[in-house]
Amino acid sequence: MFSMCTALTTQNSAGDVYFGRTMDFSYPLDPEFYIVPKGYQWKNLLNTHRIKNQYSFMGIGQNLSPVTLADGVNEMGFAAAVLYFPGYALYDPPAPSGSRQIAVASTELVKFLLSQCASTDQAASLLRAVRITGVKDPVTEIIAPLHWIMADSSGKCMVIETTSEGLKIMENPIGVFSNSPDFPWHMANLRNYMNMSPSQHTEQNWGAFPLKPFGQGAGTFGLPGDFTPPARFVRTAYLKSHTPIPDNREQAVNTCFHLLEGVSIPKGAVVTDRGTSDYTQYTACISLTGKEYFFKTYDNSHIVSVKLPENCGPDIRLLGKLSKPVRFQEWK
């Protein structure tokens, strides 16, 4: 069972940082939106440590007893998201009995990092001191193979992968992420598409025979258009690299959604061996500078925004399910 997602970071002309992702999954998620306060305490899934939140944060996830987040941002403008990593992910074994080292389940790593870290550098340092362990996901009933992307309001972006070679925390200079293969492979693969260009090809002569482009877009001939992780990584990197830098908040959010639309998957385009559609269940864009979430779902393209409040209260707060009935504005 594989799943597909794509993530990216982008900035506007003022340097404000935005973090976006598609959530592509073949199981019904029915995601919810949560706000989690600073000072809140919770037990890790292996029930070995009690963790106290150093920062308040918000994100999208599910209440799987406890609440599990797929993506989120905290009050310091640090964000993280989890994506599937089949065929490569390999986790640490549980810590020996009595160990003081915190064992963090792969499915709770986003929540853990958001609760403890103000920046990607701090997260990288903390990750080297914990054990990332595999715990069965109650949705799929397997130990999900995962890897992670994180970014902060400085614009720095990093990825986290745990493989047979151990823990790797790598800077992400292109600000794009997808699924397998591993991140270094995707970065090397970009060199196969160096000839891609938004410019139109000029007329050429092959001998005495003139050749003219069929129409606009000839410079992108060869850009992969399928939904495999390598294709989505290349396509997103190309689109991001050639999209004009937005001037303000509204343009930045629209740009983020437009970029992710280039890799969004409609129902029926990708079908699993279980006969279910792997499709984009929601798309999110987060302002790391403004600590503001924007999201839309497969069944409702209206963009909803949520701003992290200064006072988040004493307990986890459920704002509601992302899925809402679609309503059309009627002109008369």
pLDDT attached to residue 99: 78
Catalytic: 5?
yes
Instruction: Tell me if 327 is assigned to some domain.
Output: no
Structural domain of 134: 4-321
Provide the pLDDT for residue 95: 77
pLDDT of residue 2: 58
For residues 276 and 26, the answer to whether their CB atoms sit within 8 Å is yes
Cα gap 255→241, rounded to integer Å: 12
With a cut of 60, say whether residue 270 has pLDDT above it.
yes
What whole-number distance in Å separates Cα of residue 8 and Cα of residue 256? 8
Say yes or no to pLDDT of 51 above 90: yes
- At 125 the pLDDT is 98
Residue 329 domain-assigned? no
Q: Phi and psi at residue 220, in whole multiples of 5°?
A: -100, 10
Residue 332 lies in a domain: no
d(CA 58, CA 259): 23
Q: Are 103 and 96 in contact (CB under 8 A)?
A: no
Please check whether residue 179 lies inside any domain of the structure.
yes
Q: How confident is the model at residue 162 (pLDDT cuts 50, 70, 90)?
A: very high
Domain assignment present for 331: no
Whole-number pLDDT of residue 65 = 80
d(CA 192, CA 156): 25
Q: Determine which helix (DSSP H) or strand (DSSP E) holds 274, and give its type and residue range.
A: none
Q: What is the CATH number of the domain that holds 250?
A: 3.60.60.10
For residue 104, what are its two tokens? Answer: 């963090």
Residue 221 clears pLDDT 80, i.e. is over it: yes
Task: Please tell me the total count of domains within the chain.
Answer: 1
Please tell me the pTM assigned to this model: 0.95
Quote the pLDDT of residue 39: 97
> What would the pLDDT profile of 57-105 be if each residue is shown by its tens digit?
999 999 988 899 999 999 999 999 999 999 999 999 987 877 788 999 9
Identity at 139, one-letter amino acid code: V
Read off the pLDDT of each residue in 172-190 and give the average, rounded to a whole number. Answer: 98
As a whole number, mean pLDDT of residues 268-288 equals 96
Provide the pLDDT for residue 141: 87
Selected catalytic residue, list 5, 256, 285, 312:
5
Q: From edge to edge, which strands make up the β-sheet containing 79-84?
A: 166-171, 157-163, 146-151, 79-84, 67-74, 57-63, 32-36, 317-321
Cβ neighbours of 208 (radius 10 Å): 5
